[in-house]
């Protein structure tokens, strides 16, 4: 006879990987559409000569309105000053991130700009120096060195067929002779500082958002305030850029492109936020992680082929492997903490299930 607290293993919810499969598909699709919007924006900015700040402001302003309509932060439990004030400050950081990231995208190209966003893992090394254990310090420093080496190789053009040392390797992108391919230049680390700094600011705004909001619904409400605050901070910068302009005289103009604007508004701001939130809450996948980098890398390879960019598959793979190793080592302490929290949650869930099931009549 079966004991009251013993149940067959096939009873209850489906296996965890099966339940996570639809969420993983949603996350991959959202990242693909976001990276597609980045390539669309890059093509639009380089061909039209439009102002980066004006374009981003024209996309963030309607995105902030949509976030406010969807989340309605004025409804529900009133927000305290300890939540609103950091969200407004986070909006200033977000506005600065958008400006620097847009400048880096235009000057460095989409591959370098997207991979430089993962430099936010530098904060893991800083946290180890300030709060972490000394036993994990050298692992984080090694991860920092690996990330810097990967970004240096990217700045030297290893991901491009023109400057890659693997030019003669077997790759459909490297041996082709296509007149439509766009030749990129080797930049150096000085030009890479702008997207790297943008990646650090991006990680900083995510950390502030996690610290301020504990519950998921509260996080979305505060994110609407953050984007609205970022729009307000970007407004004077965009107006100044439109009035002053650049020496070329083209920055004050903003030609309209339907797909460039709509893709940046929806996929570059709104959809990717909810997808990353789902990945962080349900899949335990944060932005600065090797798993997230793998998804982004596959999407980049597809887009580089579609847009016929100056691309070296072998060089790009080498840079991604080094960057992924650096992120893995730099976030080792955070990963151990998340694993312990996840195990404790599972054990608590099983204990709760036993309590609930034992109260049933047998």
* pLDDT-based confidence at residue 281 (cuts at 50, 70, 90): confident
Q: In this prediction, what percent of the chain has a pLDDT beyond 70?
A: 75
Residues in contact with 311: Cβ distance below 8 Å, sequence separation at least 6, in sequence order:
111, 159, 160, 161, 173, 174, 301, 304, 305
Tell me the CA distances in angstroms from 200 to 75, 97, 118, 235, one per residue in order: 33, 9, 8, 23
* pLDDT surpasses 90 at 62: yes
Mean pLDDT for the stretch of residues 273-283:
90
Q: Are 234 and 59 in contact (CB under 8 A)?
A: no
Average the pLDDT over each of 133-137, 168-172, 205-209, 297-301 and give the range with the smallest value. 168-172
Q: What is the mean pLDDT of the chain?
A: 81
Tokens 């460039």 -> residue: 260
Q: What gap in Å lies between CA 116 and CA 194, rounded to an integer?
A: 9
* pLDDT-based confidence at residue 126 (cuts at 50, 70, 90): confident
* pLDDT surpasses 50 at 25: yes
Instruction: Report pLDDT digits (tens) over 214-226.
Output: 666 788 999 999 9
* pLDDT surpasses 80 at 45: yes
Q: How does DSSP assign 97-127, residue by residue?
A: HHHHHHHHHHHH-HHHHHHHGGGGGHHHHHH
Three-point CA angle 232, 46, 36, nearest 5°: 75
Predicted local confidence at residue 182, as pLDDT: 55
Predicted local confidence at residue 9, as pLDDT: 46
* pLDDT surpasses 80 at 135: no
Two tokens, residue 128: 């180890």
* pLDDT surpasses 50 at 236: yes
* pLDDT-based confidence at residue 300 (cuts at 50, 70, 90): very high
* pLDDT surpasses 50 at 251: no
* pLDDT-based confidence at residue 296 (cuts at 50, 70, 90): very high
Of 144 and 7, the structure prediction assigns the larger pLDDT to 144
Mean pLDDT for the stretch of residues 255-259:
81
pTM score, two decimals?
Answer: 0.82
Predicted local confidence at residue 2, as pLDDT: 47
Of 90 and 243, the structure prediction assigns the larger pLDDT to 90
Instruction: Report pLDDT digits (tens) over 303-319.
Output: 999 999 989 999 999 99
* pLDDT surpasses 60 at 12: no
Of 143 and 339, the structure prediction assigns the larger pLDDT to 143
Mean pLDDT for the stretch of residues 223-240:
94
Predicted local confidence at residue 252, as pLDDT: 54
């Amino acid at each position: 006879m079966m004991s009251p607290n013993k149940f067959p293993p096939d009873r209850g919810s489906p296996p965890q990987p099966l339940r996570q499969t639809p969420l993983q598909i949603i996350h991959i699709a959202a990242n693909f559409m976001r990276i597609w919007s980045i390539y669309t924006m890059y093509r639009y900015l380089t061909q039209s000569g439009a102002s980066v700040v004006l374009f981003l402001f024209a996309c963030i302003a309607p995105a902030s309105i949509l976030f406010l309509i969807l989340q309605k932060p004025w409804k529900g439990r009133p927000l305290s000053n300890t939540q609103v004030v950091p969200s407004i400050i986070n909006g200033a950081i977000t506005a600065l991130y958008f400006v620097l990231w847009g400048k880096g995208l235009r000057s460095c190209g989409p591959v370098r700009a997207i991979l430089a966003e993962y430099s936010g893992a530098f904060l893991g090394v800083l946290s180890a120096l300030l709060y972490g254990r000394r036993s994990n310090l050298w692992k984080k420093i090694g991860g920092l060195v690996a990330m810097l080496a990967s970004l240096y190789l990217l700045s030297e053009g290893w991901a491009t067929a023109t400057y890659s040392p693997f030019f003669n390797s077997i790759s459909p992108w490297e041996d082709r002779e296509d007149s439509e391919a766009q030749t990129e230049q080797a930049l150096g680390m000085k030009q890479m500082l702008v997207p790297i700094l943008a990646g650090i600011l991006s990680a900083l705004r995510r950390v502030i958002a996690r610290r301020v909001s504990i519950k998921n619904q509260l996080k979305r409400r505060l994110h609407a305030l953050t984007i609205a605050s970022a729009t307000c901070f970007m407004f004077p910068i965009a107006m100044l850029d439109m009035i002053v302009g650049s020496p070329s005289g083209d920055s004050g103009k903003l030609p309209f492109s339907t797909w460039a604007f709509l893709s940046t508004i929806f996929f570059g701001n709104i959809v990717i936020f909810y997808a990353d939130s789902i990945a962080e809450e349900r899949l335990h996948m944060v932005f600065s992680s090797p798993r997230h980098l793998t998804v982004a890398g596959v999407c980049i390879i597809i887009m580089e082929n579609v847009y016929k960019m100056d691309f070296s598959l072998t060089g790009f793979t080498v840079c991604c492997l080094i960057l992924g190793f650096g992120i893995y080592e730099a976030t080792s302490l955070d990963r151990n903490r998340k694993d312990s929290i996840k195990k404790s949650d599972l054990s608590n869930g099983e204990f709760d299930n036993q309590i609930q099931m034992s109260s049933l009549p047998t």
